[in-house]
Copies of this chain bind each other. A is one copy, B any other.
Amino acid sequence: MSSYNLAVVGATGLVGGKILKVLEERNFPLSKLKLLASARSVGKKIKFKGEEYSVEETTFSSFSGLEIALFASAEAASDRFGWEAVKRGAVVIDNSNTFRMDPKVPLIVPEVNPQDLKRHQGLIANPNCSTIQMVVALYPLHKAAKIKRIVVSTYQAVSGWGTLANEELKEQTEDIVKGRAPKVNSKIFPYQIAFNVIPQVDKFLSSGYTKEEQKMVQETKKIMEDDNIKVSATCVRVPVYVSHSEAVNIETEKKLKVDEVREILKKAPGVAIIDEVEDLKYPLPLEAAGRDEVFVGRIREDETIERGLNLWIVSDNLLKGAALNAVQIAEEMIKMRLV
């Protein structure tokens, strides 16, 4: 088995750190590991498999001699360095929103559309966290019964917005527990997130929808390769550190009964069913945190339409929603001999 020269760009961030953990745990075949970040992180030390690595500044020349670059940095860095890294010979797997809807760029969830990797031109996009967990659970149902419409409401963890968001929730909570007025730093969440929910994830568009909601609409179609799937999304931030939850209502072309859904999802890659409500078993964000699977529960027929279903889908937004999916894309490309 070959091994690869790989860089993690944005290695000091929340997703960057998770990528390193996933590479370590999965024993990813590395000959060389480079940790890249912006100038202000240069010199930071990060341990990987017991060895200490120094963070280097990302520059164009950083990518020479690399075979794989996993980008977990801000959009600006992806924008600046993405194609430059490809030019220098690296395959780029980018976690940001920058290239996801670019027709030249495959948008990949390995359980759903690995075949799209074949047409890659050096840069592959990792989808948005909320979309990944939804399509992992829904694609097997789509194959069996064709999904016509999805109405989804999300319950999204703060870590989707990065380290500072986690700190903000923590500090606000501490302030409240200690009887102090919680500080709101409008650069992260525009309102207090502790003991509150905020019906806004990412920026607003002129349509009245947010970018996050638009991502769920557009990315679902691209990943499932079906422009006819209609998605109506409401994305909401909740005071949870890790794991996004989603209340998902779908309408299918062919009728699916609950038992059939269970049979299909039992065999579905990356999916774990937790659905024994008589014993109060259903997916919870706290229990999904740190796990690789997409958890599905509360599977119910929706009798308000002829062929409807309700599902509750939960997954670790930093793992399957980001780091794990990126590493799985790299593994898939190795398997397909595309890198």
Contacts and interface: CB of A to CB of B under 8 A. Distances in A.
Interface string A128-152: 0000000000000000000001010
A257 to B, nearest CB: 12
A285 interface: yes
A119 B151 CA distance: 39
28 contacts: A151-B302, A151-B304, A153-B153, A153-B234, A153-B247, A155-B155, A155-B236, A173-B173, A174-B177, A192-B286, A196-B284, A197-B240, A197-B245, A197-B284, A197-B285, A208-B258, A208-B301, A209-B300, A230-B304, A231-B304, A232-B302, A232-B304, A232-B310, A234-B247, A236-B245, A236-B247, A238-B238, A239-B239
A245 B199 contact: yes
Interface string A289-300: 000000001111
A241 B195 contact: yes
Contact of A282 (B176, B199, B241, B278): B199
A50 interface: no
A249 interface: yes
A335 to B, nearest CB: 36
A95 to B, nearest CB: 24
A1 interface: no
Contact of A195 (B207, B208, B286): B286
